[in-house]
Amino acid sequence: MSLDWIYWAISWILLFWHSAWDTIGVPATAVLGTNWSWILAIIFLVVTVRAILFPVFVKQIKSQRAMQALQPKVKALQEKHKGDRETLQKEMMELYREEKANPLMGCLPMFLQIPVFLGLFHVLRRLSPANEGKTLYGWAADQFDSAASAKIFTAPIAGKFGSTADELAALGANGTTVKIMAGVLVLMMITTTYLTSRQMILKTGWAEDPQQRMIQRLMLYGIPASLLISGAIFPIGVIIYWVTNNLVTLAQQQWVLRKFPPPPTANAGKTTKPAAKAKPGLFGRKAVETKPEVKPVPKVAGPKPGAKPVNPKKGRPAKPQS
């Protein structure tokens, strides 16, 4: 299957935003070693894609809420079919079908963004002054040369951590500068990728369904770990796209989680106040634990001498009068 339509679409959006920033007056020359019109074009490529995918993102949140609401039924099925994995899977698929819940909906926005990522990767990888196909995918020759020489803090956006000496020479770049810039951006990419998954799991909790829990673990640990290796082959422009996308995701998730809060748990109404612990004192010294104040029990005054008892005890014979 040809991906040319994706390359054309990505190129059109990049060129549109680059022209928009030129029209506004963002200088085409480097300021602080950065060609801001091209950096902003990549950033607003993210904004454009996320605006298009926002309805899908809302559906993802609603699907996750539906999955959370089914957790008591899922747990009951797990207890009922403990040890019979095949029957358990059939019963759970039937439950999802009846309730119209899709366990894979949580990954849909990420899957839809993969073609965009691949398209940008392909387009930026072509940026080299020595490339003869400058007018491919709707680019003009001067636009291609401008993008090929675009830099962020003197590191070309087409360079990568693993660039060869020939590739760096074609871009007119310093190898040390490219590695430092790419290394910093890769660390930011890993950190923000982890935080986006952690934010969602902290708000919604770990799933009871083993399949869902496995997907959560993959999103939380597997994908960030894989970026440590694959980040070396990503052009700097692609990493800028990824980091920006993660930052938009963090903000978007925070808004949606407030708009559609997680459903209350079964024990939400039965909260118990934990016992207060002693706080550490100054310089780490252990503070003296204060005991709760015990109110004294009021003493009952006894009868005065010679006074008759108010309530004589029953069953006791009266003394004979002399």
Q: Note the Cα 126 to chain centre separation in Å.
A: 31
Q: Confirm if 63 and 106 have CB atoms less than 8 A apart.
A: yes
pLDDT of residue 141: 92
Q: Is the pLDDT higher at 93 or at 211?
A: 93
Question: Which stretch of 19-28, 94-103, 293-302 has the lowest confidence by average pLDDT?
Answer: 293-302
Q: How many CA atoms lie within 13 A of 100 on its CB side?
A: 2
Flag whether pLDDT at 107 surpasses 90. Answer: no
**Other CB atoms closer than 10 Å to residue 277's CB: what's the count?**
8
Global pTM?
0.72
Q: Whole-angstrom Cα distance, residue 281 to residue 64?
A: 43
Q: Confirm if 209 and 243 have CB atoms less than 8 A apart.
A: no
Average pLDDT of the segment spanning 295-300:
56
Flag whether pLDDT at 276 surpasses 50. Answer: no
> How many helices (H) and strands (E) in the chain?
11, 2
Kindly list the domain boundaries of the chain, sorted by start residue. 3-259
The 10 Å CB-count burial string (b at 16+, else e) for 94-124 is ebbeeeebebebbebbeeebeebbebbbbbb
Q: Whole-angstrom Cα distance, residue 80 to residue 87?
A: 10
Q: Is the pLDDT higher at 208 or at 234?
A: 234
pLDDT of residue 108: 73
Q: Whole-angstrom Cα distance, residue 151 to residue 174?
A: 12
Beta-bridge partners for 151: 156
The 10 Å CB-count burial string (b at 16+, else e) for 23-55 is eeebeeeeeeebbbbbbbbbbbbbeebbeebee
Question: How buried is residue 61: exposed, middle or buried, by Cβ count under 10 Å (0-12/13-18/19+)?
Answer: buried
Range with the largest mean pLDDT of 52-61, 159-168, 252-261, 302-311? 159-168
> Coil, strand, or helix at residue 31?
strand
Q: What confidence tier does 310 reach under pLDDT thresholds 50, 70, 90?
A: low
Q: What confidence tier does 1 reach under pLDDT thresholds 50, 70, 90?
A: low
Q: Whole-angstrom Cα distance, residue 158 to residue 116?
A: 17
Q: What percent of the chain has pLDDT over 70?
A: 78
Flag whether pLDDT at 66 surpasses 50. Answer: yes
Average pLDDT of the segment spanning 170-184:
93
Flag whether pLDDT at 295 surpasses 70. Answer: no
pLDDT of residue 257: 77
Q: Is the pLDDT higher at 131 or at 153?
A: 153
pLDDT of residue 160: 92
Mean pLDDT score of the chain, rounded to an integer? 80
Q: Confirm if 194 and 88 have CB atoms less than 8 A apart.
A: no
Question: How buried is residue 199: exposed, middle or buried, by Cβ count under 10 Å (0-12/13-18/19+)?
Answer: middle
pLDDT of residue 304: 56
